[in-house]
Amino acid sequence: MRNIIGKSVEGRDLVLHANFPLRGKTDPGAARKSTLLIGGTHGDERATVSILDNFVASHIDSGRIAEPVAVVSLHNPDGHAADTRYNGRGVDLNRNFAHNWSPDSDEPPGHVPLSEPETLAVHAFILAHRPAKIVSLHWALSEIDADGPQSTALALRMWEALREEERKPYRLRVHRPEVPVAAHCPGSLGQWCGHGLVYPDGSRPAMVTLELPYHANVFSRPETLPANHLEGVRDLWRTRPEAYLAGVQDAVHRMLEAACRLDHVWPRAADAAG
């Protein structure tokens, strides 16, 4: 089902596909299993949008996935139309969420947290529907990045959905207590959902940022990415998008399917009892 959850700065629809009704009472059992997938937060990260649109067709509209899932494949339609990272007001939506928001961010964060309609629409959807798992797609740091201890199981499930060969382009980053949470990406969706957000029932969503590979071939990710990694993959996308999708999409779809099927419960009963 296609839903409009808001409008962009320039008046474009913010579209959300869901395989469950958004109105009416949410079944608590279903809510605990639901997954939100987001792409195109940075408008020039075009592969994230195509891969999610294709996932809607192949895995959701087809009925292949029965677990409740919602997809915003294009969070920043104005940026996508202009082929820029930012929204119609030049704000980086992934610095505009409210948790650990900083006016001195490395990217333009907006004049206050949640100043942008695109940020607000996703924020409101998450508070209203309380997805248990959130996976946000970006391009192209080649990593699976879990925010918060409650997100480790989700990241591992996605990692395990890959064949050994397919893991090579990715770096897996899970929660480590010695790494301060505010050190990177203040005001990002990952900061809020992974570290700030607690639902009224005391549960917390699992939050993974999936940074797609910067090339279509399977070889190991270097510790330091090449300086031109984003330009290289953009050139490939401009000239031969099918080659990038052929190398990347199946593995990503398997990770997303695994995420949708995971039964995430946090805090775990054992932790809550302790």
Structure tokens, 41: 């937060």
By CB under 5 A, tell whether 138 contacts Zn ion.
yes
* Per-residue binder mask for Zn ion (CB under 5 A), 45-64, x = binder: x-------------------
C-alpha–C-alpha distance, residues 27 and 84, integer Å: 39
CB 35 within 8 A of CB 259: yes
Write down the least CB distance from residue 136 to Zn ion, Å.
9
Considering only the stretches 136-144, 150-158, 183-191, 240-248, report the one whose residues sit in contact with Zn ion under the rule CB under 5 A: 136-144
Please, which residue, 41 or 100, has the CB nearer to Zn ion? Answer: 41
Task: Output the CA torsion 250→255→261→263 (10° steps).
Answer: 180
Q: Which stretch binds Zn ion (CB under 5 A): 134-142, 174-182, 199-207, 216-224?
A: 134-142
Helix, strand, coil share of the chain (percent; to 5): 40, 15, 45
Closest CA to 194 of 179, 172, 209: 209
User: Please, which of residues 62-91 interact with Zn ion by CB under 5 A?
Assistant: none
If the CB atoms of residues 45 and 166 are measured against Zn ion, the closer one turns out to be 45
Using CA atoms, how far apart are residues 228 and 234, in angstroms rounded to an integer?
Answer: 10
Which of the ranges 5-13, 133-141, 180-188, 231-239 carries the binding residues for Zn ion, by CB under 5 A? 133-141
Q: Quick one: which of 115, 57, 62 has its CA closest to 86?
A: 115
Regarding 95 and contact with Zn ion (CB under 5 A), the answer is no
Based on CB atoms, which residue is closest to Zn ion, 88 or 190?
190
Closest CA to 229 of 137, 142, 106: 142
Helix ranges, 4-136 (H)? 28-33, 46-55, 77-82, 117-129
CB of 140: closest distance to Zn ion in angstroms?
9
Q: How many chain residues interact with Zn ion (CB under 5 A)?
A: 3
State in angstroms the smallest separation of the CB of 80 from Zn ion: 12
Nearer to Zn ion, 95 or 138 (CB): 138
Q: Which is nearer to Zn ion, 92 or 257 (CB)?
A: 92
Nearest-approach distance from CB 92 to Zn ion, in angstroms: 9
Q: Which position's Cβ is nearest Zn ion?
A: 138
Minimum CB–partner distance for residue 26 and Zn ion (Å)? 30
Among 17, 32, 33, 42, binds Zn ion (CB under 5 A): 42
**Rounded to the nearest whole angstrom, what is the least distance from the CB of residue 41 to Zn ion in the complex?**
6
Distance CA 36, CA 207 (A): 10
Torsion angle in degrees (nearest 10) through CA of 76, 81, 84, 86: -30
Least Å distance, CB 211 to Zn ion, is 8
Among residues 214, 207, 208, 209, the alpha carbon closest in space to that of 248 is found at: 214
- Residues at the site binding Zn ion, with contacts judged by CB under 5 A: 42, 45, 138
